[in-house]
Structure 1
Amino acid sequence: MACKAFLSGVVVLAMVGLISACGPQIDKTTAEPEPITADNALALRDVVSSQLAPLQLGGSDYLLLASEKRGLVLVDAEGGEKLALDGGTVERFALQQQAQDSWLIAVYDEDSGELQLRLLDLEEGSPRIRYLGAMATSAPQVAMCFSRQAGRTHLFAIDENGLGHEYVVHPREQAWQFTGVRPLYFGEQVSSCVVDDRSGKLLVAQPPLGIWSLNADAEMDEAREVFAASAELAEEAFGGLWLDGVSGNLWLTAGHKVLAFNINTPRQKPHFAEVLANMEPVSAAVQRGALLALEEESDQIHRFAVALPEPAPEMQAFRGPIEIPRVRASGQTVPVQSGGDAADDPAIWVNPANPAASLILGTDKKSGLSVYDLNGKLLEHFAVGRVNNVDLRPMQHGKFVAIAAATNRTDPGVSLFGITADGQVEHLGLRNLEMDDPYGLCVYRKGADLMAWVSDKEGPVQLLQIVPGSGNVDWSLKKVATLAVASQVEGCVVDDEMQMLFFGEEDGGIWRLDIAAFLGGEAKPQLIAAVDGERLAADVEGMGLYVNNQEGAGDKSYLVVSSQGNNSYALFSRDGSQFVGHFKVDINLDKNLDGSSETDGLEVSSAAFSSDYPQGLLVVQDGRNRMPSQTQNFKLVSWADIAETLNLPQ
């Protein structure tokens, strides 16, 4: 049967295998290189090991081995035993250097069914292994690897069923803790994993499919792709991944071979491939210029004197992504009701009588509008349809102290909401628009009038006046003007005092418009900050104004913009002319909060809400809600923490 006939209806993993099989095949008639023979072997005592890794302590070379009889065994470069746990059944471990002469080890102990953390260091010049903490697992773990992210240690562990988990591992008073970040799904037969911290890539060996590469950062798209297909490995069994971070060489075993790939060039053939005589290695590494190899459940380490590949030339020129400062999340709302890409845009109502009783309004663009308190508790949900963007302003009215407006894509128009002095929110109904797909929205005050800019997803932006009614049903919208735009606009905000509109062209940048001059026919939008991939990375999404009108505040007001392409938030001067800095919202382990990413909408206020938010509050939509993985929500960030991180004027 033709290869393409198999492709319909199969899962992605199987597709990759079939694509490999249907693509170019290695010519089995090509002569294999002559097998190489070990120069010598280091004899071990009753270790029964299937994994080794080199390390240094006190300037000396050592080898750490998993032992099915004795847990972990440490030997010197000549095979002399220096240390053993003498307990437990360990087949796999992960190793990460913490500091000079300090190594963190994760093992799966088959006897206890636990993931365990250990620390290997020196005590008065002699190696020692200390217990740090443990966590029971529901299935045996077959692959483990560490990642270093923003100064934290993350552990990836994958079980025999192909279910992986990412944890942050960190010290607590009594023992180290495993804080779950997200699940990862691979399918069966995973054999090993490794993380390249320079590029932020997690690599997973899964015979017979190949080696996967995906982003190690949970706040980024997974972006799973094939690093090495099975056809390039030419074996059904492969694994034993070990990364030489200095040279940039990824080592692995495949059948009788030991292979090395350039970690920087996926989908390339190996630049080292040797057949080992009379053995099938399961673990290989390099130490002191020699290749070391270990057979399954072995008591011998074979050493080969062979020409090793040169360091990858890219290692000299490689520059990792620009490190953006991080600010810890302070709080979060409960997850939205709808799954998938649902949460979108927040607004903040400041309760003038009691700022601590202020409200957060957040859109669920598959369901309606939710109302939260400052602790993130859901107070009410209005199931009014597919509301996308929401904004509000205070106003003088007999019943309400503020009006919120939200674009509604179910029945194209704007849904209006009134907020009373005691914080009660009432739905005032839908006002239809002559618009195909109402998308972005921002509200502002022009004297006593309440105005709104509303964008059509595939069309122009309309300026509307919100005309009050005496009751709940006689409010109306009056079209004032139309603004032509070059491409899709969603995020926008108005500086009421300056009567200046800022809006984001998702792939272009930030535009500014003098509203009064525009209405007088004398102004067009100006591009004041273009997408450059660093300060602003497409898509440009949510916008908010941090306005500090306190006496002597000077230049302490800022335009805040969601730079969705690099999961950051950019600060500009109030008029948008100067870039001030940017930051990411990061994990807060003390409060068990994840960071935020893929942010659509945001809102910010300079009000002093409480001791948690003494200088104001930033609320951002979180497109990937982790720790644990749940539907999307909104993250809360203290402006005081932002100001401290970016060294803003106090």
Structure 2
Amino acid sequence: MNKLRFIFLLTLCITLIYGCGHEVDSVLRIKKALPQQVISLGAIEAEQMLPVQVGGEDYLLLASERRGLILINPFGEIIAAQEGRVERLAVQALSNKNLLVASYDEGQAQLNLHEIRPTEGERKLDFRLLGGQKMRTPQSALCFSHQEERTHLFTIGEEGIGYEYLLLPAQQQWRLQEMRPLYFGEQVNACAVNSKTQHLLVSQPPIGILSLNASAEKDEQRELVLSGQWIGEDFGNLWIDTQSESLWLTADDQVRRYSLSSLKEEPDWHLHIDESHTVNSPVLLNGQLFALDDGRDQLLIFDQVESDSLPHDPSVTATESDSSIVSIFARNQTEPVQSLGDAADDPAIWVNKSRPQNSLILATDKKSGLNVYDLSGKLLEHIPVGRVNNVDIRSIDHPLYSAVAAASNRSIPGVNLFAITLEGRIEHLGLRSIDLQDPYGLCLQKTDNRIFAWVSDKEAALHQFAIELGEIPSEFSLKAQAEVAVNSQVEGCVVDDERQTLFFAEEDLGIWSLDLVKQRSGESQPRLVAEVDGKTLVDDVEGLALYLTEDSGYLIASSQGNDSYALFTRDGNNFVGHFRVTVNMRLGIDGSSETDGLAVTSLNLGPEYPMGLLVVQDGRNRLPNAKQNFKLIDWYTVSEALGLSVFVKN
């Protein structure tokens, strides 16, 4: 019985393998598609194709090595052309509903910008050259990104080095301002930007499809989202359909469609193409699949594509869904610090009371020393005192000096003290060691004309030291006074001298408040006033500063996790609003991100800063990519953006 059963099963298997008629054969074989229509393009030799719309009409824009840029209608008829030898292109809609086209012209070795616009009473379309830039190497991928009303362009060369450019429109000649480099290996052949999540997708055979943040002010977060092992050996031709939120590409003999909300091993839809055609640049137009036949100068039109809705992941939302965070611009920026990597850290502002416009910014290069800048951001002096991390300033009553600045030093665990003369000259008074393993955060406190320093040990408590200047300031001393236990890392802190309140930021938990009067008598413990909630505050919480007026003010915190700044009432109890510092296109100053320390004053510092100055550390200095620095912001812009009611009283 078992033998008979084996023979039956073996016979069935042989029948299935070799076929038992047309019906079975048609089920087992992969059905390959032939185009419904083939249109000859007439020796164009198109390399890439994108669907576009101008004046409510649908067209296809081609990159041609023979003819340049060619605009055709869905029937293959040429509507407009721009001569050249174009290999790659990208398209972005303009605010006037015309089209912006970026293309790489191999003959010119140049990246060109064109506008497609109606002419002759809206009856015709043509290309208008907006600007161009010579490129060092041939370009293998171009794609646009629209960020906060700005147009950015990504270019990736054949050698695997890419750049992000900010496009600066102008009446005569548009400019491309380099923001940052991006590094890939060779073989990149296409890119596209998911406008909803602001992720740059890059096709790089045989590795796969890579994803990274399109915003230069965010961590790159490079990730392999589609492995080449899943896709095949020959893949590319990325195109994103924004209506269905889907990614289209070619892979070997297939056209594949993936949902952008859930990129996974198997596509949501695919089509095997008959071997008589080699498809390139698949796109949807009016529900039909259009593609180029690579090497045969043909436009292929396939049957109506399935219109079933793609799976939607409700957890995937636009990156700018936090629309309550308003954007402001910096007015100035400092020269970069001299050290590479994560080096700039914490600023403080010295106000020149006789000549406010000559005030100074003291800021730490935590790998080498203290920098001194003027209000234009020019570096006036670098004081090489070691790995100073945080700095703060307090005024003093002294015949020679207007203030002292203290900085926590991690080279030799201790505190450096600096004296600031009435004219603004900085004198280093020396360093005093302290019994802490790793002095980290620091802020000063003034009580009854005495100066105290609060210093955090990186993995331990906050410690208070009295700073005693004596008759000879360089012979100052530090005397331990008090200690406040904390559960995790603290760096940012600030003291409201008038109200005798210490605020400190436990980076992953939130902002604490401590009544210093009651603390001295042992009657007070820290109170959590602003908790990390992922919305108003996103960990890490770093710098803290106080914008103070005669009877009110604001507590400001750098919310490092989402590159924003949160404002609270002066006591820290109530959230007021938050903002980001974004690109100032007019002045060519990039935004700020991943901010560590910040400082603010409400005093009038002259015509540029009549309501005071906010200084923030910039963890990613772009436009172009450079060492870290500090951004200078007119407080008036903050007040206007958030609709604040507290103004300076002269």
For the 8 Å contact 1:507–1:538, the answer to whether it is kept is yes
CA shift in 2, pair 1:246/1:501, >3 Å: same
Deviation at 1:255, TM superposition (A): 2.0
The aligned counterpart of 1:75 is: 72
- Which of 558, 563, 568 in structure 1 is aligned with 2:559? 563
2:375 is aligned to 374
TM-fit CA distance, 1:315: 7.1
Q: Secondary structure at the match of 2:475?
A: coil
The structural deviation recorded for 1:58 is 2.5
The alpha-carbon distance between structure 1 residues 186 and 594, as it changes in their structure 2 partners (threshold 3 A), is same
The question of whether the paired residues in 1 share the 8 Å contact of 2:213 and 2:222 is answered with yes
* Partner Cα separation in structure 1 for residue 295 and residue 627 of structure 2: 44
Counterpart residue identity of residue 104, structure 2: Y
How far 1:307 moved relative to its partner? 3.9
CA deviations on 1:219-267 (whole Å, 9 max, x unpaired) are: 00000000111011122x2111000011011001122211111112234
Work out whether residues 621 and 627 of structure 2, in 8 Å CA contact, stay in contact via their aligned partners in 1. Answer: yes
Alignment equivalent of 1:240, drawn from 225, 237, 251: 237
* Distance of 2:97 and 2:434 partners within structure 1: 68
Contact 2:259 2:311 in 1 (8 A): no
User: Does 1:447 pair with 2:453?
Assistant: no
Q: Is the CA contact 1:271–1:309 (under 8 Å) kept in the aligned structure 2?
A: no
Counterpart-to-counterpart distance in 2, 1:32 and 1:502: 71
Does 559-568 or 602-611 show the bigger shift?
Answer: 602-611
Q: 1:396 to 1:197 in 2, by over 3 A?
A: same
1:318 deviates by 4.9
| CA drift at 1:173 | 3.4
Q: Tell me, in whole angstroms, the C-alpha distance in 2 between the residues paired with 1:317 and 1:602.
A: 33
Partners of 2:164 and 2:29 lie apart in 1 by: 39
Counterpart residue number, 1:588 = 584
In structure 1, how many angstroms separate the alpha carbons of the residues matched to 2:304 and 2:207?
A: 29
Shift of 1:309: 6.0
CA distance in 1, matches of 2:502, 2:30: 69
Read off the aligned partner of 2:546 and give its amino acid letter.
Answer: L
Give 1:100 shift: 6.5
2:353 aligned residue = 352
Aligned to 1:434: 435
Q: CA deviation at 1:122?
A: 2.2
CA distance 1:100–1:318, change in 2 (3 Å)? farther
Report the CA distance between 1:310 and its aligned residue. Answer: 3.2
Tell me the secondary structure at the aligned position of residue 643 of structure 1. Answer: helix
Query: For residue 170 of structure 2, what is the aligned residue in structure 1?
Result: 172
Amino acid at match of 1:111: G
Q: Which range moves more in the overlay, 494-503 or 289-298?
A: 289-298
Is 1:183 equivalent to 2:188 in the alignment? no
- What is residue 597 of structure 1 aligned with on the other side? 593
Aligned to 1:159: 157
For each residue in 1:335-369, what CA deviation from the matched residue of structure 2 results, as whole angstroms up to 9, or x when unmatched? 11110111100000001111111111111111111
Deviation per CA, 1:373-416, whole angstroms, max 9, x where unpaired? 11111111111111110001000123321010000011111111
Q: Return the offset for 1:59.
A: 2.3
- How far, CA to CA, are the matches of 1:476 and 1:101 in structure 2? 68
- Would you say the 8 A contact 2:188–2:204 is kept in 1? yes
8 Å Cα contact 1:248/1:315 also seen in 2:
no
Which amino acid is 2:70 matched to? V
Secondary structure of residue in 2 paired with 1:336: coil
Residue by residue, what CA displacement relative to the aligned partner does 1:456-488 show, whole Å, maximum 9, x if unpaired? 111111111111122243101111111111211
Q: Which residue of 2 aligns with 1:127?
A: 125
Q: Whole-Å Cα distance in 2 between the matches of residues 215 and 574 of structure 1?
A: 35
SS in 2 for 1:473: helix
Tell me if 1:640 matches 2:642: no
SS at match of 2:47: coil
Task: Indicate the SS of the match to 1:232.
Answer: helix
Q: Distance in 1 between matches of 2:612 and 2:296?
A: 62
Q: Tell me the SS of whatever aligns to 2:261.
A: coil
- Name the CA shift for 1:298/1:544 in 2 (closer, same or farther; >3 Å): farther
Relative to structure 1, the CA distance from residue 267 to residue 313 in structure 2 (aligned partners, 3 Å threshold; closer, same or farther) is closer
Task: Select the residue among 81, 85, 89 that pairs with 1:84.
Answer: 81
Secondary structure (helix, strand or coil) at the match of 2:209 reads strand
- Provide the secondary structure at the position in 2 that maps to 1:627: coil
Structure 2 match to 1:627: 623
- Match in the other structure for 1:573: 569
Aligned to 1:45: 42
Instruction: Note the C-alpha offset of 1:442.
Output: 0.6
Question: Aligned equivalents of 2:29 and 2:475: distance in 1?
Answer: 84
User: Aligned partners of 1:489, 1:316: CA distance in 2, in Å?
Assistant: 36
Cα offset, 1:316, TM superposition:
7.4
How is 1:357-436 mapped onto 2 (pairs within 5 angstroms)? 357-436=358-437
Corresponding residue to 1:271 among 264, 268, 282:
268
**Change beyond 3 A, Cα 1:419–1:68:** same
Alpha-carbon distance between aligned partners in 2 of 1:245 and 1:541, rounded to the nearest angstrom: 37
Tell me the equivalent position of 1:342. Answer: 343
**Residue of structure 2 in register with 1:291 after alignment:** 289
Partner Cα distance (1:256, 1:280) in 2: 7
2:249 corresponds to: 252
Residues 396-454 of structure 1: per-residue CA shift (max 9 Å, x gap) = 12332101000001111111111000111011111111111111111021011111111
Q: Aligned equivalents of 2:150 and 2:573: distance in 1? A: 35
| Residues 194-203 or 393-402, more deviating | 393-402
Select 1:221's aligned residue among 200, 208, 219.
Answer: 219
d(CA) in 2 for partners of 1:381 and 1:31? Answer: 75
Structure 1 unaligned regions, length at least 5: 1-29
CA distance in 2, matches of 1:192, 1:200: 17
Contact 1:49-1:298 within 8 A present in 2 as well: no
Cα distance in 1 for partners of 2:556, 2:573 equals 12
The code of the aligned residue for 2:317 comes to R
Please name the residue that 1:194 is paired with. Answer: 192
Q: What is the Cα deviation at residue 274 of structure 1?
A: 1.7
Normalising to structure 1: TM-score of the pair?
A: 0.92
- Report the TM-score, using the length of structure 2 for normalisation: 0.92
The offset of 1:314, in angstroms, is 2.1
Q: Secondary structure at the match of 1:108?
A: strand
Percent identity (aligned): 48
Quick one: distance in 2 between partners of 1:525 and 1:631?
A: 37
What is the letter of the counterpart of residue 548 of structure 1?
T
Q: Which amino acid aligns with 1:271?
A: D
State the partner residue of 1:205.
Answer: 203
Distance in 1 between residues matched to 2:580 and 2:398, nearest whole Å: 39
| Partner Cα distance (2:577, 2:366) in 1 | 30
Contact 2:289–2:305, Cα closer than 8 Å, also in 1: no
Q: Which residue of 2 aligns with 1:3?
A: none
Number of the residue aligned with 2:462: 461
2:394, 2:592 → 1: CA distance? 26
Q: Secondary structure at the match of 1:517?
A: helix
Deviation at residue 46 of structure 1 after TM alignment = 3.1
C-alpha distance in structure 2 between counterparts of 1:120 and 1:617, whole Å: 44
Check the 8 A contact 2:261/2:316 in 1, yes or no.
no
Larger displacement relative to structure 2 (202-211 or 397-406) = 397-406
What is the Cα deviation at residue 317 of structure 1?
7.4
Task: Tell me how far 1:590 sits from its aligned partner.
Answer: 1.7
State the alpha-carbon separation in 2 of the partners of residues 298 and 262 from structure 1: 30
Deviations for 1:192-213, whole angstroms, at most 9, x for unmatched residues?
Answer: 0000010010000011111100
Could you say if the C-alpha distance between residues 146 and 167 of structure 1 is closer, same or farther in structure 2, counting changes exceeding 3 Å?
same
Is contact 2:46–2:63 with CA below 8 Å preserved after alignment? yes
Amino acid aligned to 2:77: G
1:609 matched to 2:610? The reply is no
How many residue pairs match? The answer is 614
Q: Name segments (4+ residues, structure 1) moved above 4 Å.
A: 315-318
Provide the residue aligned with 1:480 in structure 2: 481
Whole-angstrom CA distance in 1 between matches of 2:495 and 2:306: 62
Deviation at 1:33, TM superposition (A): 3.0
CA distance in 2 between partners of 1:32 and 1:285 (Å): 27
Corresponding residue number in structure 2 for 1:137: 135
Aligned partner of 2:59 in structure 1 is 62
Q: Partners of 1:179 and 1:496 in 2: how far apart?
A: 45
Taking a change above 3 Å as real, the CA distance of residues 99 and 300 of structure 1, as seen in their structure-2 partners, is farther
